[in-house]
Structures are given as structure tokens and as C-alpha cells.
Amino acid sequence: MRKLLTVMLAITILTFTFSHPALAAKPDGQQIFNANCSACHIGGNNVIIANKTLRKEALEKYGMKSLAAIKTQVTHGKNAMPAFGGRLQEDEIEAVANYVLNQAEKGW
């Protein structure tokens, strides 16, 4: 009986640990950027439209100086930039937007 209770407790703990969203790891903005954005935006640059970089001055000039604006751009895309709303989850988009803003503040 004691073994059965121990096994049941272990199963319950494992189920809760791996299925509870609050315990899930937060997405890593840098990893997401490297996997999805760096081909065009390596080092904060822009290989498609050279003046529309991810540097602080350019983000401000083109109205991309807020988390909301960057999230919208990443989600829906614009011009040559594809939409990532179908590929990335909301929390991943937020993580990559935060990463872009932080890197812009640091000067990439």
C-alpha cells in the first residue's frame, strides 16, 4: 500500500510539474531572434532595406520605439518583412520584441 501511494504521489507531482503553464520556462528572446530574425537583422542591421535597422534611432524614426509597435510588426509583418504571428506564440513574440528593444538600448 505504501509503494502504491508513493507511485501515485510521484505521478501526480510529475503531471503537475510538466503540465502547469506557470512552471513552463519563459521563451528566450535572443534564441527566438537568432532562429527567426537574424538572417535579415544580424547585429541589428537590415539586409533588405539598409536604413530600416533595429538600432534605437531607426526604431524611433519609423515608429517602432514601443513594445506594442514591435509586437504588431512581428505578428503581422509589413512590406518585405513576413508575418510571424502564425509561426510564433504570443509569449515568443513578446520575448523577441523585448530583446530587440533591449539590444537597441545597448547599441546592439
d(CA 24, CA 44): 29
20 annotated as a binding-site residue: no
37 is known to lie in a ligand binding site: yes
8 is in an annotated binding site: no
pLDDT tens per residue across all 108 residues of the chain: 665 445 444 455 555 555 555 556 999 999 999 999 999 999 999 999 999 999 999 999 999 999 999 999 999 999 999 999 999 999 999 999 999 999 999 999
**Residue 81 is assigned to a ligand binding site:** yes
Give the per-residue pLDDT at 77.
98
Residue in 27, 43, 10, 45 with CA at minimum distance from that of residue 84? 27
Which structural domains are found in the chain, ordered by start?
26-106 (1.10.760.10)
pTM > 0.85: yes or no: no
Q: Tell me, what's the pLDDT at 7?
A: 42
